[in-house]
């Protein structure tokens, strides 16, 4: 992700679009969105994370770049607010207290070994058979996890035993993310 960046204006457009999608859905109206240009039309994987009073309130994303970044953000904002199965849908009453965070992802690449995983730098995508799970790079920092704890929780997220990351049949893929949110200082 080192060659990918967004300027403050582009970040603002994505954050405002995410908020407008959620607001318009709650108000039962068509969203009013800016027409994106430039890098915002590049296909990128991304996640939209919602926090309410500092606690996770929803997080949905695509690891693989299937759509232009702006469209991925619009789709994931709605899914995070109203389709995350771990939470009830966001309400109008919560809207003003919701903080939006966006993670734009690099392409996946294989880890040569578990030692390649750097918590806080790498997101992890763990697969074994039909099981898979992803954790964003900021998660181990927020939870104060070391590498082993991070990999263990990645396995849990995939529905695997915590030590499955040691199994040669378990595939560990890495990615980096450009993370920004409404609470960031520019």
Q: How confident is the model at residue 39 (pLDDT cuts 50, 70, 90)?
A: confident
pLDDT at res. 70: 93
CATH code: domain 109-175 is: 3.30.1490.150
What residue has token string 């904002």?
77
Question: What value does the mean pLDDT take over residues 130-148?
Answer: 94
Please provide the size of the chain in residues: 186
Domain map of the chain by residue range? 8-105, 109-175
* Each residue's pLDDT tens digit, 41-57: 988 899 999 999 989 99
Global pTM?
0.83
Cα–Cα distances (Å) from 115 to 111, 146, 156, in that order, read 8, 11, 19
Q: State which H helix or E strand residue 175 sits in.
A: strand 171-175
Tell me the pLDDT of the chain averaged across its residues: 92
19: tokens are 């908020």
**Domain boundaries 8-105, CATH class:** alpha beta
The angle subtended at Cα 4 by Cα 111 and Cα 153, nearest 5°, is 35
pLDDT at res. 43: 87
Q: How confident is the model at residue 3 (pLDDT cuts 50, 70, 90)?
A: low
How many whole angstroms separate alpha carbon 56 and alpha carbon 59?
8
> Contact at 8 Å (CB) between 14 and 70?
yes
pLDDT at res. 37: 83
pLDDT at res. 183: 85
3-state SS, residue 26: helix
């Amino acid at each position: 992700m080192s060659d990918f960046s967004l300027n403050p204006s582009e970040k603002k457009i994505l954050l405002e679009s995410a908020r407008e999608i959620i607001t318009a859905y709650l108000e039962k109206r068509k969203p009013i969105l800016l027409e994106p240009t430039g890098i915002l039309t590049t296909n990128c994987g991304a996640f939209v994370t919602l926090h309410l009073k500092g606690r996770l309130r929803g997080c949905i994303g695509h690891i693989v770049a299937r759509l232009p970044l702006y469209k991925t953000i619009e789709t994931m904002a709605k899914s995070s607010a109203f389709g995350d199965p771990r939470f009830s849908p966001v309400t109008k009453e919560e809207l003003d207290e919701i903080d939006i965070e966006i993670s734009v992802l690099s392409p996946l690449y294989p880890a040569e070994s578990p030692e390649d995983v750097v918590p806080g730098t790498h997101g992890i995508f763990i697969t074994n058979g039909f099981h898979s799970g992803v954790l964003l790079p900021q998660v181990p920092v927020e939870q104060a996890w070391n590498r082993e704890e991070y990999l263990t929780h990645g396995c849990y997220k995939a529905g695997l035993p915590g030590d499955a990351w040691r199994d040669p049949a378990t595939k560990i893929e890495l990615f980096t993310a450009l993370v920004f949110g409404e609470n960031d200082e520019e």
